[in-house]
Structure 1
């Protein structure tokens, strides 16, 4: 660890207790502890979090208000999204995953780089307001990642991959879903139900397909894993921010 990370960790331990970030520190040990075979390609696995690929989006008291709020706003969110797709296509861009960039995977960002994307308040006002009120202002969003509309064009395939870590979790609001779309996580395939949310741990190998005849759009939000604690979240932000600084990101 760098002196900056060591200082941040020491401050958290002093405020929250000596054992408050033990799981984060164990994650950094050589080998990083045991992990599920389908998490092998994730970079970091924090020990002690349930190794569950698919989660019930309504099961966590912390996340339930986000889920219910987004589902209640689905009608307006879809209407505004479709209008933006037709009239403000320049606001969408090729999605730049840390592994690749895909022209048939388009993104409209609401939260990125640690803050809200203010332009999207005009493009997608209902989604922007709900994400701000339910996830950003309540600090349920993982500030290390993002929230965006994810649009897969017809025929698009996201190949099997693991994302970086398990201490955040991915929530999908199914905004506009044609027939022929699927999401597979750890070998189990599901379809989106328009207007409903799916929740999964993307440190497990996963893939998505749009075999339909029109674009498939979900609103994706990277939330803190509900089994992480506030001190751990502080430590993880300090750690990943310093790693990104050293890597020139």
Structure 2
């Protein structure tokens, strides 16, 4: 819970007031509006905010690399270094070394998927700004590639290798809010696999990146006879300004607006932040 006398929070807000004055094009007003909406939404939805939409930015299920220069740059780096990522993944498989997967389907989607726990593996590489020990030891070249991508990455997101073995079906679900996009880089992409986001189905291709907004209802399946492997990367929505990213980072870190597994909570915290912002803008 926030403490109203926190000097770190108060100082941060006053510094951001100055930042907004110096860079009015930073759209800090959208952040303020989002806090107001969060406060209203959490008060009426038991703290859940999976359907919250950050104001003023494009909101659609799928994004193309050509939609934004930042997505094009992101894609170009992945394509340029794809063989390195793929080779390290294949070397990891050949080594037969074990990494304990971060999550199991039943831990995310409930006990109904417990029979698929061994067929869906989630190998964490990077989370909330830090590389895992496994990544540093087993995927050092991939770590270097991810380091080049850091300017685009959503700092509270993840980068992970996800393996869906034959027969795995992930049910419809939503994650987070629309301030970030999810990228899937295809590594092993057999036929009869697919992902549906916002009612539109697409397929993975080796070496190609798919971008989607995971705040839309989405689902995925592997009906083939071999593994489907993608590298998942979370990145900022390309329409957010540097000022907004800074504001959001402070809010997410200091104001307890998100829990570890996504979703918003803490109605008192958002109301406190709302009151502080009224005094600043």
Is the shorter-chain TM-score for this pair beyond 0.5, marking a shared fold?
yes
Provide the residue aligned with 1:114 in structure 2.
Answer: 129
Segment of structure 1 superposing worse, 234-243 or 117-126: 117-126
Give the C-alpha shift of residue 10 in structure 1.
3.3
Q: Deviations over 1:29-56 (max 9, x none)?
A: 247799xxxxx96253211111111101
Question: Equivalent residue of 1:28, what SS?
Answer: helix
Segment of structure 1 superposing worse, 17-26 or 72-81: 17-26
**2:60 is the alignment partner of 1:52:** yes
Which of residues 12, 18, 23 is equivalent to 1:14? Answer: 18
Verify the 8 A CA contact 2:102 2:123 in the aligned structure 1: no
Which of residues 128, 138, 142 is equivalent to 1:123? Answer: 138
Segment of structure 1 superposing worse, 118-127 or 164-173: 118-127
Question: Greater share of helix residues, 1 or 2?
Answer: 2
Q: Count residues with an aligned counterpart.
A: 241
Verify the 8 A CA contact 2:104 2:121 in the aligned structure 1: no
Q: Deviations over 1:152-178 (max 9, x none)?
A: 121111211111110011111111111
Structure 2 length-normalised TM: 0.75
Give the C-alpha shift of residue 14 in structure 1.
1.4
Provide the residue aligned with 1:203 in structure 2.
Answer: 215
Q: Deviations over 1:106-152 (max 9, x none)?
A: 1222211321225313322332221111x12xx21111111111111
Larger radius of gyration: 2
Segment of structure 1 superposing worse, 49-58 or 239-248: 239-248
Q: Quick one: structure 1 residues 80 and 30, their matched pair in 2 at CA, closer, same or farther if it must change by over 3 Å?
A: closer
Give the C-alpha shift of residue 21 in structure 1.
1.9
Q: Quick one: structure 1 residues 16 and 28, their matched pair in 2 at CA, closer, same or farther if it must change by over 3 Å?
A: closer
Question: What residue ranges of structure 1 are gaps of 5+ in the alignment?
Answer: 35-39
Question: Equivalent residue of 1:207, what SS?
Answer: strand
Verify the 8 A CA contact 2:159 2:234 in the aligned structure 1: yes
After superposition, the CA RMSD in angstroms is 2.9
Question: What residue ranges of structure 2 are gaps of 5+ in the alignment?
Answer: 42-47, 111-115, 262-281
Provide the residue aligned with 1:142 in structure 2.
Answer: 154
Q: Quick one: structure 1 residues 246 and 192, their matched pair in 2 at CA, closer, same or farther if it must change by over 3 Å?
A: closer
Structure 1 length-normalised TM: 0.84
